[in-house]
Structure 1
Amino acid sequence: MTASTETSTWAPLRRGAFRALWIASFVSNIGSWMQTVGAQWLLVDEHGSPLVISLVQSASSLPVLLLTLPAGVVAEFADRRRLLIGTQAFQVATGAALAVLTVTGTTTPVLLLVFTFLLGCGSAAQLPAYQAFVPDLVPRGELAQAAALSSVGVNLARAAGPAIAGLLVTRLGVGGLFALNAVTFVVFALVLLRSPSPARAPAARQAFLAGIEAGGRYVRHAPVVRRILLRLVVFAVPANVLWALLAPLAHDRLGLGATGYGLLLGAAGIGSVGGALVLPRLRRRLSASWLVAGAGLVFGVAMVVVGTVRSPALVLAVLVPTGAAWIAVIAGMNAATQAFLPGWVRARALSIYQLVLFTSFAGSAALWGVVSSALGLATTFVVAGVLLLAGAATVPRWPLLDVATTGRETVSYWPDPGVTPAPDVETAPVLVSLRYRVRPEERAGFVTAMADLRNTRLRTGGTGWALYRDARDEAVHVEQYTVASWDEHRRQHEQRLTGLDQRVQERVEQHTDGAAEVAHLFRLHPVKKAEEPT
């Protein structure tokens, strides 16, 4: 192994634009963790139940369910830098208002959850833009490293933010922590203001709902992404018990104050940072599936231990490998998703990824709060640990698929159709028909290859697909797929096909005699002519 390979984790930080964004995000994340600690501990001090305390995370995650899909469409076509600046301004105003209310003693649990929800709205609106902004700043070959460094920043903040909050809360009060969080948004906005907008090829605009539909269609017909999302949910739902209920566990079972709670979060954050640093080496030795299985095993055992002991020192020690297991899954899934997605749909598909992730967070936080109220904290952590172990056992049955990071650049290999639609059909749905001749001995291989081609057609714009064989000449096979409009089909030709799609089509052509005969047909809507009176 060469030295350059060993130090490649840090390569994106050599790029000034990414480095500045990384530092600004790190500062903002410290503020967000201080906000979280302050909010949860404010409820602990007011003797809030575990269910109410867990709702802090639900309130911050719920906005993703509402906003991330439309935010993904906006981020695909808008200036992402300006969009990020706008969301920072909103969060500055919201954070400052919450700080004033808290300092003046007028914040109630309900009001706290409302402002947590509003801050979550700002985060949800910026998530797709931020994640799609990063690949604009680094080459595709450094995307995995950039994703890992982003996770390092998040988890360094997780290590530092709660510890800083624990030390400052006795001096500044919870209101002071909220004010510092608002200041971190100002820092992020100032960095963005000084950053130039990355040069991007202009994206053809789509209708808003059509843009959301295109992103959903891509994910639905991308088996690689679907499997990533499955493994993400199987891990995140039980693992989230830690972040939802660590505050009441620290107070009620371990007898710790705000500083002790901050140190517990800091231990998990330190483990996450260490995990992110060794993750590149682990990826070279283990498959992604075995990494996920190992992380689930470590996290599951740790939750059982956390739920059955009362020693703060032991819990502190256990949380270090727990943080490493967390980052192995969260950073690994995010990097795999970003590496697989082509540029034309990246922001929308990442918004779906975030939707799934934060739905898991919001739903499971409330779920674990309910379970804890019914069964107690100790039993809840043990149940979550058992579910994590069961999830790890399912990896051999449902492993991660090959992310096929090569061939993800957009290519144009379809011939120009040479069609100019008449005005009466230019917005009509299009039926694309391809006629193949297939030798009998190639028929089975052809049909198998067409299953992959079906996914290619549908994820790049097709709304329906079918394959037929001629009744009289069994060598003739006809593929037909529909596209919403000629403009949508033109996007397929010019913007949406990748090297991976090209290889799929070449595998199909290996089983055919010559090139397919292609026809484009526009849907008509016949209207019966009114009968003339006799």
Structure 2
Amino acid sequence: MRQPVYRSFWIASLVSNLGTWMHEIGAGWLMTDLDASPQMVSMVRTAMATPIVLLAIPAGVLADRIDRRKLLLVTQFILLLSTGSLAVLAATGVVTSWLLLGLTFVIGLGLTLHVPTWQASIPELVERKQLSRAIALGSLNFNLARAVGPALAGALVAITGSWIAFSVNAFSFAGVIVVLLMWKRNRSESSRGLSFRKSLYQGIRYVYRTDDMRHVLFRVMLFIIPASALWGLLPLVARERLHWDADGFGLLVTCFGAGAVIAARFLHRLHHRVGNNTTIAFAMVLMGVGLCVMGTSSQGWVAVISMLIMGFGWMMTLTTLNTAAQTILPGRMRARGMSFYLTSLALSMSSGSLLWGYVAEFDWVGVGGAQKIAGLTLLCTAAIGMLFRVTEKTRH
């Protein structure tokens, strides 16, 4: 945080992440009003993740070839326009379930361009020795927003409707645009001399030949596919199992964010004592136990405790994997490599959300049963993941 440029981005990102989490609550809750079937509710997540699955890798190649600052500016304008349009449609009452999914897809497209570009830009803002701390601060930023944004969104949505959450999100991108316009970026390594096809092939070859990177991607999938049952079904847990309104839904996500913030305080110490691989396995077990407990009970206090536990496990797992990926990748390859990471995450989230929405449709399973099955699956994949170890030593 002593780096002024990084500090400015961190503050702007916090405001933007607050808006994003308010949007998440608004979109999920709006779909339960428009069409409360488990499949349609889970498709909100799928619509967001699908463009990432399809286009993240080409976006990563692009980010390694052109000025990342300009590309980030383009993504912010795409996100501002798409969220602003959704706010207007929701406020006027003409939004439908398919319009919601369509605009969510466009927002996902903007995020597809933004995320690998932004993650590849972080090492340009801090010194190499500060990279792991910068990534951890980025995760803390995201989870602070998750701890505050959903509660704020839940209260506002309950009073005024989902359109207010979309409006706040649209305005939140303005701060990021201002910081990007002020950023005087230094020229860095790139693959600009290569054709797009050769740059793409170079990225694929690097990931294929690097054991550590392949293991990171596989462990992302082992975690996210079962863990996506939480996010795909959470609006239905709040509305149908707990009989809560948008306020209660926001409270659940806030508790998740609080658990993630708590995890941030222990993560570095745990890495130092037991290493990355054991940390990931331990965190996946926590996530699995939380899903099983939530799926077993319809008591509000049990759901709150479960969300705290799962926030702890989620943050530890993905921050550890993200840091491992960033330290494995050389600068010239970082955007392309992180685009593979993002694709693995989004493909797992998209397919997992569809899977658990489909499973929950069975009367003899239901939402609670789907969560319990997903939780037990996580306990199994935590053990399987230990067979695909990531080298503990950070590469330079």
Shorter-chain-normalised TM-score: which range?
over 0.9
Letter of the 1:224 counterpart: D
C-alpha change, 1:83 and 1:263, in structure 2 (3 Å) is same
List alignment gaps of at least 5 residues for structure 1: 1-12, 409-534
Partner residue of 2:75 out of 72, 84, 87: 87
Correspondence for 1:50: 38
For the Cα contact (< 8 Å) 1:75–1:129, is it kept in 2?
yes
Given the alignment of the two structures, is residue 22 of structure 1 paired with residue 10 of structure 2, yes or no?
yes
Given the alignment of the two structures, is residue 389 of structure 1 paired with residue 363 of structure 2, yes or no?
no
- Partners of 1:70 and 1:381 in 2: CA distance: 34
Number of residue equivalences: 394
Correspondence for 1:511: none
Give 1:395 shift.
Answer: 3.8
Per-residue CA distance 1:229-288 (angstroms, 9 max, x = gap): 111111111011111111101110111110001000000001011112210011111121
For the Cα contact (< 8 Å) 1:274–1:324, is it kept in 2?
yes
Given the alignment of the two structures, is residue 144 of structure 1 paired with residue 138 of structure 2, yes or no?
no
Correspondence for 1:405: 394
- What aligned pairs does 1:180-199 form with structure 2 within 5 A after superposition? 180-199=168-187
Give 1:377 shift.
Answer: 0.5
Give 1:46 shift.
Answer: 3.0
Letter of the 1:159 counterpart: A
Runs of 4+ in 1 over 6 A off after TM superposition: none
C-alpha change, 1:300 and 1:202, in structure 2 (3 Å) is closer
Per-residue CA distance 1:432-490 (angstroms, 9 max, x = gap): xxxxxxxxxxxxxxxxxxxxxxxxxxxxxxxxxxxxxxxxxxxxxxxxxxxxxxxxxxx
Partner residue of 1:361 out of 336, 344, 349: 349
Correspondence for 1:224: 212
For the Cα contact (< 8 Å) 2:203–2:337, is it kept in 1?
yes
- Partners of 2:353 and 2:72 in 1: CA distance: 27
Correspondence for 1:244: 232
Letter of the 2:306 counterpart: V
Letter of the 2:128 counterpart: R
Is the radius of gyration larger for structure 1 or structure 2? Answer: 1
Give 1:220 shift.
Answer: 0.2
- Partners of 1:125 and 1:212 in 2: CA distance: 15
Give 1:350 shift.
Answer: 0.6
For the Cα contact (< 8 Å) 1:295–1:328, is it kept in 2?
yes
Partner residue of 2:263 out of 275, 278, 281: 275
Give 1:180 shift.
Answer: 1.0
For the Cα contact (< 8 Å) 1:229–1:353, is it kept in 2?
yes
For the Cα contact (< 8 Å) 1:224–1:403, is it kept in 2?
no
Secondary structure of the corresponding residue to residue 286 of structure 1: helix
Q: Which moved more, 1:242-251 or 1:167-176?
A: 167-176
TM-score, structure 2 normalization: 0.97
The structure carrying a bigger strand percent of its residues is 1
Letter of the 2:231 counterpart: W
Given the alignment of the two structures, is residue 170 of structure 1 paired with residue 158 of structure 2, yes or no?
yes
TM-score, structure 1 normalization: 0.72
The structure carrying a bigger helix percent of its residues is 2
Given the alignment of the two structures, is residue 40 of structure 1 paired with residue 34 of structure 2, yes or no?
no
Give 1:196 shift.
Answer: 1.6
Given the alignment of the two structures, is residue 153 of structure 1 paired with residue 123 of structure 2, yes or no?
no
- Partners of 2:174 and 2:254 in 1: CA distance: 24
Give 1:321 shift.
Answer: 1.8
For the Cα contact (< 8 Å) 1:340–1:403, is it kept in 2?
no
- Partners of 2:293 and 2:53 in 1: CA distance: 33
- Partners of 2:50 and 2:35 in 1: CA distance: 24
Correspondence for 1:311: 299
Secondary structure of the corresponding residue to residue 240 of structure 1: helix
- Partners of 1:74 and 1:231 in 2: CA distance: 26
For the Cα contact (< 8 Å) 2:49–2:349, is it kept in 1?
yes
- Partners of 1:204 and 1:106 in 2: CA distance: 45
Secondary structure of the corresponding residue to residue 310 of structure 1: coil
Letter of the 1:369 counterpart: G
- Partners of 1:269 and 1:201 in 2: CA distance: 36
For the Cα contact (< 8 Å) 1:275–1:328, is it kept in 2?
yes
For the Cα contact (< 8 Å) 1:140–1:339, is it kept in 2?
no
Correspondence for 1:348: 336
- Partners of 1:291 and 1:111 in 2: CA distance: 41
Secondary structure of the corresponding residue to residue 326 of structure 2: helix
For the Cα contact (< 8 Å) 2:64–2:190, is it kept in 1?
no
Letter of the 1:225 counterpart: M
C-alpha change, 1:395 and 1:68, in structure 2 (3 Å) is closer
Given the alignment of the two structures, is residue 64 of structure 1 paired with residue 52 of structure 2, yes or no?
yes
What's the % identity of the aligned pairs? 38
Letter of the 1:327 counterpart: M
Letter of the 2:165 counterpart: L
Partner residue of 1:211 out of 195, 199, 216: 199
Partner residue of 2:66 out of 58, 78, 98: 78
Secondary structure of the corresponding residue to residue 206 of structure 1: coil
Letter of the 2:311 counterpart: G
Letter of the 1:325 counterpart: G
- Partners of 1:97 and 1:344 in 2: CA distance: 36
Partner residue of 2:290 out of 296, 302, 309: 302
Q: Which moved more, 1:352-361 or 1:313-322?
A: 313-322
Secondary structure of the corresponding residue to residue 394 of structure 1: helix
Secondary structure of the corresponding residue to residue 162 of structure 2: helix
Give 1:47 shift.
Answer: 4.4
Give 1:158 shift.
Answer: 1.2
Give 1:405 shift.
Answer: 2.2
List alignment gaps of at least 5 residues for structure 2: none
